[in-house]
Amino acid sequence: MKWILTENNKKINSLEIPTISIEDLKHDLKNMNLRVVGFFGKQEFENIRLYVTLADDKNGIFYISSVLFNPNEKSYESLTQDFPAFHIFEREFYEEFGIKPLNHPWLKPIRHNQDKYPFFSMRGEDVHEVAVGPIHAGVIEPGHFRFMCQGEKVYDLEIMLGYQHRGIEELILNSSNFNNRLAESICGDTVIGHNMAYSMVMESLSDTKISEKSKIIRRIALELERMAVHIGDMGAISGDMAYLPGASIFGTTRTLVINTMLEICGSRFGRGLINVGGINFDIDHSMEQKIIAMLDEVLHITQKTVKVMLKKSSCISRMEKTGFVSTENARLLGAVGMAARSSGVNIDSRFDFKDEFYQLIGKKLNFKATGDVYSRFRLRYEEVLQSANFIKNLLEILRQYNKQNLKSEIGFVSPNSFVISSVEGWRGEIVHIAITGANSELLRYKIKDSSFNNWYMLAMAVRNNGISDFPLCNKSFNLSYCGNDL
């Protein structure tokens, strides 16, 4: 047995995870044709154990295995050569443990050593470099972008991040108790998504069964977050192409959604709503009415504005064929989430990994992807409509569980366990993996935000576009800096 199979949020014994050789891993990767969701090391006495987690999206199963490196093994033949989706994972593993993937085509720092970053550079007549950031003109996070251009045309974009590195994984390992406030700070625009993943990992580790009621309210919050960010980003895309009505109308509409979140839990971004063992705030009958009224208003405004916008030739001409990423490239790069779906890679953890509630309320969006900014704009719009529908259905189901508790008793964390939890945040798949030791202590906590996979997709999208279209491409992805930097 070379791989152990598990499901989303299911605890397995970490000692049962098999050890395979790197050749076997390569061989299996070729045969299994699965997507990588976890590729990280853990110190095991003097050895380093590399955990590999693959996702079988069709059957909703995770495959887990590990490779052991003894202290003398300082390198291995890189997997990226055959499987480009591993590129960022191998860079991360090299940066954290110093085991070098040989012949890696793009072995560069991702979070540390920015001062020694080896930039790609082009020489030739008319070629010029444009360096942007790390501090930008807008209210965005720090990150450095370097464009290689010929005139207005971008040949290559190199993205250097790491300015937001806070060591969140270590902070989680070192916190004595469950620390949801820390999980909420992994990425400020995906508070619910990350907090939900963290809580589910911890609940699975401690065999805590939470009430149906709190499960439903968590999902309502997740969809509210999705709606709010998507609407906000539609406004930002309009703003970047100087379409004023879009920018102002979507901006105010987003406020309606986040203000409802404020009424539910006292924070516009849903901080403090979810805790390990349940949730902190209830949605009662009057709140339910408020949410439904808000949804109707938001849908009305959004539908009307999008209808006008998509009839405007100047808007469409700006978005169409801008920032194109083909399905093939998106799949090769291991893109996830809405960015992947907009390029025709139809993966969505809400439905790929069986979820008791999402199965009841709907199915995957049937979206005709074109891979450009227009596709990402329209996908956001359709996801807003879908989420509003989901929230209404969830509120209906919620009524049956009116009497249930918000919080449940939390059990003891089990020793020697491995749990993987995947949540579809608004940006895409969020994966949290926890491994405990013999004394139930956390040995490794691995976080993978969807931005981690997707940043390179942005670099691909900008190629051969005008440099003045970069802000528009960037907004259409709206990737997270701190989610990548951790």
Asked if residue 128 binds another protein (CB under 8 A), the reply is: yes
Q: With respect to another protein, which residue has the nearer C-beta, 102 or 140?
A: 140
Task: Give the footprint of another protein on residues 194-223 (CB under 8 A).
Answer: none
Q: With respect to another protein, which residue has the nearer C-beta, 128 or 181?
A: 128
Asked if residue 152 binds another protein (CB under 8 A), the reply is: yes
Among 171, 247, 299, 397, binds another protein (CB under 8 A): 247
* In the complex, minimum distance from the CB of residue 313 to another protein, in angstroms, rounded to a whole number: 9
As given in the structure block, the two tokens for residue 455 are 């940043």
Task: Give the footprint of another protein on residues 309-348 (CB under 8 A).
Answer: 312, 314-315, 317-318, 322
Asked if residue 129 binds another protein (CB under 8 A), the reply is: yes
Asked if residue 127 binds another protein (CB under 8 A), the reply is: no
* In the complex, minimum distance from the CB of residue 473 to another protein, in angstroms, rounded to a whole number: 11
* In the complex, minimum distance from the CB of residue 323 to another protein, in angstroms, rounded to a whole number: 12
Q: Are 130 and 146 in contact (CB under 8 A)?
A: yes
Q: What is the spatial distance between Cα 329 and Cα 461, in angstroms, rounded to a whole number?
A: 10
Asked if residue 150 binds another protein (CB under 8 A), the reply is: no
Asked if residue 250 binds another protein (CB under 8 A), the reply is: no
Question: For the CA atoms of 5, 457, 193, 359, what is the dihedral angle to 10 degrees?
Answer: -60
Asked if residue 252 binds another protein (CB under 8 A), the reply is: yes
How would DSSP label each residue in 235-273? HHHHHHTT-HHHHHHHHHHHHHHHHHHHHHHS-TT-TTS
Q: ∠ CA 173-175-179 to the nearest 5 degrees?
A: 105
Among 199, 204, 211, 238, binds another protein (CB under 8 A): 238
* In the complex, minimum distance from the CB of residue 248 to another protein, in angstroms, rounded to a whole number: 4
Residues binding another protein: number (CB under 8 A): 33
* In the complex, minimum distance from the CB of residue 465 to another protein, in angstroms, rounded to a whole number: 9
44-49 contacts: CB < 8 A, separation 24 or more? Answer: 44/68, 46/70, 46/71, 47/71, 48/97, 48/99, 49/19
Asked if residue 65 binds another protein (CB under 8 A), the reply is: no
* In the complex, minimum distance from the CB of residue 466 to another protein, in angstroms, rounded to a whole number: 5
Contacts of 388 (CB under 8 A, 6+ apart): 223, 227, 295, 298, 299
Contacts of 64 (CB under 8 A, 6+ apart): 3, 4, 5, 6, 12, 17, 38, 51, 52, 53, 54, 418, 420
Amino acid found at 110: I
Q: With respect to another protein, which residue has the nearer C-beta, 241 or 339?
A: 241
Task: Point out which residues bind another protein (CB under 8 A).
Answer: 128-132, 137-138, 151-152, 238-245, 247-249, 252, 312, 314-315, 317-318, 322, 466-471
